[in-house]
Amino acid sequence: MTKTHFPTDRFESAQTPFYYYDLHLLDETLKAVTEYSDVPGFCVHYAVKANANPEVMRRIAAAGLGADTVSIGEIHAAVTAGFPAPKIVFAGVGKTDEEIRTALELGIGCFNVESEAELDVIEEIAASMGVKAPIALRVNPEIDAHTHHYITTGLAENKFGIAREVLPALIKKCLESDHLQFKGLHFHIGSQITDLTPYKILCERILELQKELEEKFPGLEIPNLNVGGGLGIDYDEPDENPIPDFKTYFDLFKRYLPLKPGQKLHFELGRAIVAQCGSLICKVVFVKEGLGKRFVILDGGMAALIRPALYQAHHKIENISSTSDIMEKYDVVGPICESSDTFGVDEILPLTKRGDYMALRSGGAYGEVMASCYNCRPLPGSLYSC
């Protein structure tokens, strides 16, 4: 029902490589997110870093989600797409003064603060503007999310978040300041998490920490808890599992993280919302006979989709033109002069020829948005299902 169909006849008029977005699947995914997160106190944000394509973002905003952003560029993109400023949170370890000022002017919902140095600068800027900055402190929960080391973020050795030992001093600072408003605590443990156990541990850590802080600060209110994003998707079988298991995910938090009266629980999902609706479409430039190897050389490579080169990620590769029953073994590579520009080794594909269209599936998250002009190649464009 949600299997992506590729209208190759429409592709003739588009310049490859480009991203093809199955908007029906995006809408179905958003429907599932809103249905299963329909729990008192739950607020789902979309992590814009996953995909800032205007049409994709517009649909997510229309579904009523908030936005999680990490730069003023993302904040502007979110406002343009229709996310109301109070539903935008601003995270990131390196917010500049200019970004902080503009975010305060726009009236965003919350700054997710990652260090004492940042807190001091936000206070100074808010004071100079005569406003009160809404603050959530990002705590490092020291949980191993068991994912790729580049996208594990909740360990003490990572650059993110505030150590538990330092947290009380920063809460005190917020409570005593005329220009800071303590809104809550923020956590994020990593990305592409498929075994949900680390989330259960996160819930336990949060409850423990909340109790500890309430003892330290009698009467302290923590109006918002934010558990970040990270829910993974099925890169191997995008058609079998086009929509992640949001039910199990939200049920886990409902079960293991009981909220106080009036308390809100925020989520910042990126990949789980957009990954499966996007595919990178490339054309086969040559089929090259190597020594004991046959290479399918595409016109799009690591500049269009960097995840395989950067994280050794594998995106399912499909020949969407071939109707042949003959199966062959190929290495599927891009045109860029780096060995890491490889999408797949020993891929079994139907007989492939020059001019065929190939789809690199599950590219809706961290695909288009991470593309570059390396080798002076134009950025990939985008095409949408009707």
Residues contacting residue 34 through CB under 8 Å, at least 6 positions apart = 44, 63, 64, 65
Segment lying near ligand LLP (by CB under 6 A), choices 12-20, 46-54, 215-223, 328-336: 46-54
Site membership for ligand LLP, residue 244 (CB under 6 A): no
Site membership for ligand LLP, residue 50 (CB under 6 A): yes
Q: Which two tokens stand for residue 382?
A: 């985008």
Beta carbon nearer to ligand LLP, 231 or 296: 231
Segment lying near ligand LLP (by CB under 6 A), choices 167-175, 186-194, 210-218, 237-245: 186-194
Shortest separation between residue 315's beta carbon and ligand LLP, angstroms? 10
Q: Which of 59, 95, 271, 316 binds ligand LLP (CB under 6 A)?
A: 271
Q: Which of 68, 299, 356, 368 binds ligand LLP (CB under 6 A)?
A: 68
Contact 187, 229 (CB under 8 A): no
Contact 234, 241 (CB under 8 A): yes
Segment lying near ligand LLP (by CB under 6 A), choices 4-12, 161-169, 187-195, 198-206: 187-195
DSSP class of residue 365 equals T
Other CB atoms within a 10 A radius of the CB of residue 182 amount to 22
Q: Which of 269, 332, 349, 359 binds ligand LLP (CB under 6 A)?
A: 269
Q: 36-75 burial string, b = 16+ CB within 10 Å, else e?
A: bbeeebbbbbbbbbbbbbeebbebbbebebbbbbbbbebb
Residues 190-229 that bind ligand LLP (CB under 6 A): 191-192, 228-229
Q: Which two tokens stand for residue 94?
A: 């390196």
Burial label, 325 (beta-carbon count in 10 A; 0-12, 13-18, 19+) = exposed
Q: Which of 329, 333, 350, 353 is nearest to 341 (CA)?
A: 333
Dihedral sign, Cα of residue 375, residue 376, residue 379, residue 380 = negative
Shortest separation between residue 46's beta carbon and ligand LLP, angstroms? 9
Segment lying near ligand LLP (by CB under 6 A), choices 45-53, 251-259, 291-299, 342-350: 45-53
Site membership for ligand LLP, residue 368 (CB under 6 A): no
Q: Which of 297, 301, 255, 245 is nearest to 276 (CA)?
A: 245
Residues 248-267 that bind ligand LLP (CB under 6 A): none
Residues 111-130 that bind ligand LLP (CB under 6 A): none
Q: Which residues bind ligand LLP (CB under 6 A)?
A: 47, 49-50, 68, 91, 151, 153, 188, 191-192, 228-231, 268-272, 307, 311, 365-366
